[in-house]
Every structure is written in structure tokens, then in C-alpha cells.
């Protein structure tokens, strides 16, 4: 199991007239969580893309339990609990506020794809090597 | 069953560097679909809010089957297949491109809530009246 | 002089906790105004890009006079008052609400550029032909 | 003169199909720069709002000199060079990339307003006290 956490602060633009974070903006929070999870492994999602592997989002699911508000300092926890055996990569993602209350929980399914051919692919070798220690 | 359709065109800002619509932007497409579904009933979601009923999104789920691209004229189909018997309102939402291909399918759960107390509520009477003919 | 108008409705996501449209979202409103201005000429900005001419935004200026609110049906007026003699294309853009009140006024400078070389270019011939009748 | 800097990383959602940051997203970068400038003074913009003073954006101007790209770590520099003598607060804002190249430069005019009455106001006393040392 690989768990990563990253923090981000709610921007004014991300609130809506209900005075809370617009639900659609959690897609960006989750995205930042995944990208930083990969960076904390010692890799860069940008480098993965530049070397020919893209990771489009195929499914996105979330439950909104409590609202996030303007200027809240959020913690996004990104968990990879299963080793990806084929082209599928599934993350669990949770957003907490400063009091440690769980605001949003979701799971996101991505596919490894080769950008040149847009065909499904396996996990890139350098990513597998970095992840291996967390799954033994 | 109540089905509504509305069209919208993909904005430049909504694309990302993968040259497709960023997945998080479908939250807005679905939102516009629901708002127009309510307008086509002869109501206005804004009026509902102004008269004290809000409809926060509680769950949001989608599968991304095919990408939408810049300037595509999309059709969002919003379907209410079950009569809401308590505070829950669940829509199925589908996005099609001009060739009629299904790009994205999702379902969104909202709660009727009274904004003054932030307590769960039933469907407002004027909405029930407008919807009734579609469920008899 | 070439003037074009297009309508759009304020989305929930575009509002902020001040209960008005977040100022940064006018960039999208202006963009839709320009794209529809080009479409009303009988061209498509997407086709321009696909044939090798891009129009990046180089300067963006706006004054926010009155707020737009959720569900407002806005009119974006896009005006080209000077014939572009070199690589520069400058639009005046205005946003009105349903009562005809001016909410926002701005001007946007774009450059014609060849995407292959990222060098400045002149106006594409097919665009010049479509625009000529408005400047004689 | 008061100068503040803050860093932020370009999100995938903020890019567009030109493979650069969409120009409209600089409104958010500038906003984060201003909010962090206020926080570095020892204040919180959220607290200002909660105590009755809002700061709507009245004018927004920017020149886009060089593109920002996905995953770039940007520095936003926010400069207050003139002491606000009435309801006007004007910031100069600059965005630099990791090599120290200036990407975007702008200036943003905000008004101090009392949210209860929506009338123009002077700078709140606690803000004047924190800023005074930088203007003597």
C-alpha cells in the first residue's frame, strides 16, 4: 500500500454562491493529490507523459460529506492499495480539513496508455520500481 | 420518467494539454443539464434557492468513455427515472457528441435541503406538481 | 467595423462566495464572444488553428462596473473596430445583462502566429476576405 | 513599498490545448498572490471579509509575455507601491518561472467596500497598521 499526503489552500475562485467549494473543483484537488503522490515517489507525472505514457481519468466517483470553505487548508490523502496488474490504476482519495474531519472521499480509475498509439499499456518500468517497496 | 436535453459548446478554457475536455469540467456540463432540465419543467433552480431550498451535490459519479474536444457541440441528457420519495434526488446524466456517440455517463445524487436550517427537506410542492405528469 | 453578439447563461460554478461571477471567468465569456464572432463571419476558430494559425492572447484588460449573478442571461458584444494591418488583432468586448446594463468592458489583444514555427504572421486570407466587407 | 512572493505549481486542469496555461487562469494566480501578501503581513483576507470589508476586483490588466506550462513551479510577486489614500488598492503582479523569467505582468485595482452597505470604504485600521512600516 502506498499513501501520500499533500496540502492545498482553497482559492476564492473555487467557492460558489453557496459559500462552499464547488463540487466540480475536487477533480483538481484529487489531481494535485495524485501528481504529488507520484512526485513523492521520486517521479514526475510530466516526465511520464513526455516519455510517452499518459494516464487519462476513466472513472471518477466521490461522496461529499462536509463542505470545504474559502481559505481552508486542506489535506488530500491519496492511497494506492492494490498493485496495478494491467492497464488500470485505481486511487482512493480523501480530503480532510484542518481539524482532521473527512470532507470528501472518492476513487478514481485511470488507464496507462501509450500516447503515440492511444493503446492501453502496462505500468512504466520506472514507476513499478519505485512502487515495489510499498507492496512487498 | 422525466428526460431533458440541452446543448452546449466546448470552450477553449475547458480543454487541457491532452487536447480533450478536462474530466473535472463535466461537473459543470452536468450542472447545466440539471438546471436546464428544471427550467424546461417551467421552474427555475435560482427561484428554488431564493425561496429557501438548496440542492447540494452529495455524490457524483462518471465514466469517461470517449473524449470531447474543443468546439464540439455537446448534448447533455438528464434523466430522472425515479420519483423522489424523501430528500434524495438522483439524476442520470449523459453527454453525447454531434454524431450521437456517448462520451460520458454519470449519476449525481443531490439532497433537498432548507438553506435556513441546513436540514434535509422534501421536494418543494411546485416542483412536485410540475413533475407529477411524468410519473403517472 | 465588425460587431457580433452572443448570449450565454451564468453557471453556478462561475459564481463565488461574494454571490457574483468571479472576475477571472470573464476571460471565458470574452473568449466565447470572440469565437462566436468568428463563427458568425462564416469561419471557425478551430479550423484556423487546424490550418496552422493560432491566436494567443497577449494582453487582456477589463473594468468590472456591475456584477453578473447566477443564472443571468448575458450578452457578450465583440467589436473589431480597426482593420488588422500586421500580426495584431484587437477586440473590444462588452458584457450586458438582460436589462441592457453594461457589466464589464474590456479589450483583448491577440497575435496571429503560425503554430509550426511560433512566429508572428498576418491575418489568414480566408479571414481577410470575410472581414473586408465590414471595413469598406 | 510592500513586496510579497508566493509559489504555486501549474495544475493539469489549468492548461489548454495550446499546451500552455490558459490566460484566464492568471486571475487565480494573481488572487493567490494577493491573499498570501496579506497573510504575510500577519492578516487574513478571510478575516477582513468576515469583519465586513470586501475587496472586489474593479480593473484587471495583464500582458502575457511567455507561456507557463504544466507542472511549472511559478513565483507570483505582488507589489503595493503606493499607499492607498482612499478606497482604491492597486497591486502590481508578476509571475516568474523557475529560471526567473518574467512570464506575465499585470496590475489589479480593487476597492475597499463595506459588505453590509456595498459602499466604498477606507482601508481597515488593522491593515493600515500592518502596512505602515513599509511606507515610512
Q: Do D31 and A46 touch (CB under 8 A)?
A: no
Count of CB contacts below 8 A, B vs D?
A: 26
Rounded distance between C-alpha atoms, residue A20 and residue A43, angstroms: 33
| Joined grid coordinates for residue C65 | 462596473
Quote the domain boundaries for residue A79: 2-135
Q: Quote the pLDDT of residue D121.
A: 97
Among C16, C47, C50, C71, which one carries the catalytic annotation? C16
Note the pLDDT tens digit of each residue in D67-126.
999 999 999 999 999 999 999 999 999 999 999 999 999 999 999 999 999 999 999 999
The partner residue sitting opposite C28, judged by closest CB among D24, D28, D60, is D24
Choose from B10, B11, B16 for mutation: most chain D CBs within 10 A. B16
The strands making up A119-120's β-sheet, listed across from edge to edge, are A53-54, A113-114, A119-120
Cα-flanking dihedrals φ and ψ of residue A52, to 5°?
105, 0
Q: Do D71 and A28 touch (CB under 8 A)?
A: no
D46 touches chain A (CB under 8 A): yes
Q: Do D35 and A71 touch (CB under 8 A)?
A: yes
Question: What's the burial of B117, exposed, middle or buried (CB within 10 Å: 0-12/13-18/19+)?
Answer: exposed
One digit per residue, pLDDT tens: chain B, 136 residues?
999 999 999 999 999 999 999 999 999 999 999 999 999 999 999 999 999 999 999 999 999 999 999 999 999 999 999 999 999 999 999 999 999 999 999 999 999 999 999 999 999 999 999 999 999 8
C 72-111 near A (Cβ less than 8 A): none
Q: What is the CATH number of the domain that holds D104?
A: 3.10.129.10
Number of domains in chain D: 1
D109 to chain C: nearest residue by CA?
C63
A109 to chain B: nearest residue by CA?
B63
Choose among C53, C32, B17: nearest CA to D18. Answer: B17
Rounded distance between C-alpha atoms, residue C106 and residue C61, angstroms: 5
* pTM for the whole structure: 0.97
Q: Is C16 a known active-site residue?
A: yes
Q: Rounded to a whole number, what is the distance in Å from the CA of D89 to chain A's nearest CA?
A: 18
Among A16, A50, A71, A86, which one carries the catalytic annotation? A16
Q: Do C27 and D27 touch (CB under 8 A)?
A: yes
Amino acid at each position: 500500500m502506498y499513501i501520500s499526503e499533500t496540502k492545498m489552500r482553497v482559492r476564492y475562485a473555487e467557492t460558489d454562491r453557496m459559500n462552499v467549494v464547488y463540487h466540480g473543483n475536487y477533480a483538481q484537488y484529487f489531481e494535485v493529490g495524485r501528481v504529488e503522490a507520484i512526485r513523492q515517489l521520486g517521479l514526475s507525472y510530466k516526465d511520464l507523459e513526455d516519455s510517452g505514457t499518459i494516464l487519462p481519468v476513466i472513472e471518477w466517483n466521490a461522496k461529499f460529506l462536509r463542505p470545504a470553505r474559502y481559505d481552508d487548508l486542506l489535506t488530500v490523502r491519496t492511497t494506492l492499495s492494490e498493485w496495478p496488474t494491467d492497464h488500470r490504476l485505481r486511487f482512493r482519495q480523501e480530503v480532510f480539513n484542518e481539524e482532521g474531519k473527512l470532507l470528501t472521499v472518492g476513487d478514481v480509475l485511470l488507464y496507462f496508455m501509450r500516447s503515440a498509439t492511444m493503446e492501453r499499456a502496462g505500468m512504466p518500468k520506472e514507476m513499478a520500481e519505485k512502487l515495489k517497496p510499498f507492496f512487498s
